[in-house]
Amino acid sequence: YKSIQLKFFMFKEDLIKALSEKTRLKKEEVEILIEIPPRSELGDYSFPCFVLSKKEKKDPKKIAENLKEELLKKKLKNFEKITSLGPYVNFFIDKKTLTENIIKVNSNYGKSSIGKKKVICVDFSQPNLGKPMHVGHIRSTIIGDSMMRIYDFLDYNPIGINYLGDIGLHIGKLIVAYELWLDKENLKKDPVGELLRLYVKFCGKEKSKVTEGMEEEFQDNEWTNKAKEKLRLLELGDKNATKIWKEIQDHSLKGFKKVYDLLKVDFNDWKGQSHFSEKGKEIVINALKNGIAKREEDGAVYIEFENPNTKEKIKKYILRSNQTASYITQDLGAVVERKKKYKFDKMIYVVDSRQEDHFKALFSILRILGYDFTDKMHHLKFGTVRFGKEIQATREGNVIMLEDVLAKTIEKAALEINKRKTKGDPRKVGVGAIKYLILKNEPIKDVEFSWDAALSFEGNTGPYLQYSYARASSIIKKADKENFNKKIKKIDNLDEYEINLVKKISEFPDIVILAEKNMNPSLIANYSYELAKTFNEFYHNCPVIGSPKESLRLRIIDSFRTTMKNALHLLGIEVMEEM
Ligand code: ARG
């Protein structure tokens, strides 16, 4: 990959090139082998020689020795020292050159053009209309938004899609409940709350009749059947059902938009599931015609395929017996339409890992149907958010609403800011705390939501990072402009804290690329925390204003600010100059 602007970014590339020449390993192989030593006394990069020793059947120590000698002859630019230790060759970056480059970084720092404007569709957030957004929903929204930002930063062309759950059994249930039990007054006062009340009441009635362990779609009891019937009427365009459906959509979309406004999350495409029922059915009918899909006696349509891992036969229904589209029918329609419309290079679904089987089936079915883009589709899975030991389940009504969580953290932020009498923005702080709380965890891991963690602003938290930025800003503000702008002629005698901070800053571009490749924003979150800690150590040990090294230190601090701002930007966390 080529960085837009940075020479020092080439340090590692030069190293890879030289190593590849000398070892006759491919560049890609070398890149994977290069390690970052655990302690900086051992160097900035190291190359283990085990692979070569296997190949050449020689002692890895000897190989390391020879390789070091060879590389020394080459006079690698930008490296001040090369040593060998046991089976490793260790490389020491020239810190002066590194620092010279680091103090030049600008607001583009970390950006790169590897994306080549390729289109990446990100299907994320996807709340179900009629149901509230609770803390269980927050991960898709925040992880998806961060991925969007990362793609944008790397010059991809990301398309954010909010695939609203605007149809499905829950809508059937809500319409039934709406007709039976709606409290109009309450709907006016608290629309989201009233819809939740209706939904929970319906689920309570239904619960006594459901067969445990059976998929909702196939439940055969009076309440579930009522909901299915409503859904059928809706698909047929029934006036009354459509009217109620529209009302439910309006009320609940308003609630969602409030949350998105607070989070500053937006989408390019808001097309919900219902838009793709027809397209999905068309695909199913074609599959029937081709003999790929089969029809059950009751009218339901299915495709049979083998689980590629277990070889076990799977029968997946792609149309309900009453000929309405189900979740997977719509997903089939949606991806085919998206491919046509956006010509995506990647289609990413940011969805709970409990839907893994659904996406596996979706990809397999598309493959069987002959669509050639299935290898461009990815399920970015994330684990559950628990509260205590409980999973948030709307049907039980025991949910913690996202709106309340945001309101509380923002309130707490306002209190803190008041105490300090500064100009911080409570929304930025509160939202930053929640976003960071979510993003610091690897997506795949389950997380536990606790009020304590959400309302804590110290240690490994969003506000701590924002604060380190504000602190850096205030140092620069206090400093003399002239000292700040002074041309830095010679850099020598860098101390440990300066070097550590410069090195940390220099890791940023690699981290961004890694986060993109692994679809894992937590890499950037954890990097940001390390960056803040390194800065704080620097700050506590290196006097700035009035020191003989004032100019250099100011410039390092400024580069820290730029890096922290960009890193937090990728997490969707806003910075403040004062806090
Ligand atoms: N709204 C769905 C749910 O809550 C998630 C949709 C995920 N996206 C998709 N294309 N299936 O279960």
Cα–Cα distance for residue pair 460/437, rounded to 1 Å: 9
Residue 334 Cα: closest atom of ligand 1: 10
Q: How far is the CA of 457 from the centre of ligand 1 (A)?
A: 32
Taking the CA of residue 335 as reference, the ligand 1 atom at the shortest distance is 10
In this structure, are residues 381 and 441 in contact, taking their beta carbons and an 8 Å threshold? no
Residue 126 alpha carbon to ligand 1 centre in Å:
6
For the Cβ of 126 lying below 6 angstroms from any atom of ligand 1, the answer is yes
**Which positions of the chain have pLDDT values less than 70?**
1-10, 213, 218, 389
**Residue 331 CA: which ligand 1 atom is closest?**
10
Q: Is 166 in the pocket of ligand 1 (CB under 6 A)?
A: no
Ligand 1 neighbourhood includes 402 CB (under 6 angstroms) = no
Q: Cα angle vertex 421, ends 417, 426, to 5°? A: 25
Atom of ligand 1 nearest to the CA of 355: 12
Q: Which two tokens stand for residue 114?
A: 């590897």
Query: Residue 9's pLDDT is what?
Result: 60
Pocket flag, ligand 1, residue 516 (CB < 6 Å): no
Q: What is the reported pTM?
A: 0.92
One DSSP character per residue, 3-60 reads BSS-STTHHHHHHHHHHHHHH---HHHHHHH-B--SSGGG-SEEEE-HHHHHHHTS-H
pLDDT for position 143 = 98
**Residue 257, CB-side half-sphere exposure with 13 Å CA sphere:** 7
Q: Is 128 in the pocket of ligand 1 (CB under 6 A)?
A: yes
The per-residue pLDDT for 5 is 42
Q: Which of helix, strand or coil describes residue 477?
A: helix
Q: Measured between alpha carbons, how far is 576 from 149 in angstroms, rounded to an integer?
A: 19
Shortest-distance atom of ligand 1 to CA 165 = 1
Which residues make Cβ contacts (< 8 Å) with residue 204, sequence separation at least 6? none
- Span from the CA of 18 to the centroid of ligand 1 (angstroms): 48
Pocket test for ligand 1, best of 135, 351, 359, 366 (most atoms within 8 A of CB): 351
Q: How far is the CA of 163 from the centre of ligand 1 (A)?
A: 7
**331 CA to middle of ligand 1, Å?**
9
Phi, psi of 44 (to 5 degrees): -95, -30
DSSP structure string for 101-121 = HHTT--TTTT-BSTTTT-EEE
Is there an atom of ligand 1 within 6 Å of 331 CB? yes
Residue to probe by mutation, ligand 1, list 355, 366, 392, most atoms within 8 Å of CB: 355
Q: What integer pLDDT is reported at residue 166 of this predicted model?
A: 94
Of 163, 279, 336, the residue with max ligand 1 atoms within 8 A of its CB, to mutate for a pocket test, comes to 163
Closest ligand 1 atom, residue 137 Cα: 4
Distance 408 CA to ligand 1 centre (A): 28
Instruction: Answer yes or no: is the C-beta of 163 below 6 A from any ligand 1 atom.
Output: yes
Length of the chain, in residues: 579
For ligand 1, whether the C-beta of 274 sits within 6 Å is no
Helix ranges restricted to H, 355-400: 356-368
Separation of 176 CA from ligand 1 center, angstroms?
22
165 lines ligand 1 (CB under 6 A): yes
Q: Is the CB of 349 under 6 A from ligand 1?
A: yes
> Rounded to the nearest 5 degrees, what angle is found at the Cα of 514, between the Cα atoms of 377 and 334?
20
Q: Is residue 467 within 6 Å of ligand 1 at its C-beta?
A: no
Q: Which two tokens stand for residue 325?
A: 């589209």
Which atom in ligand 1 lies closest to the alpha carbon of residue 359?
A: 11
Q: Where are the alpha helices (DSSP H) in 162-214?
A: 169-181, 184-189, 191-207
Tell me the CA–centroid distance for residue 259 and ligand 1, in Å: 18
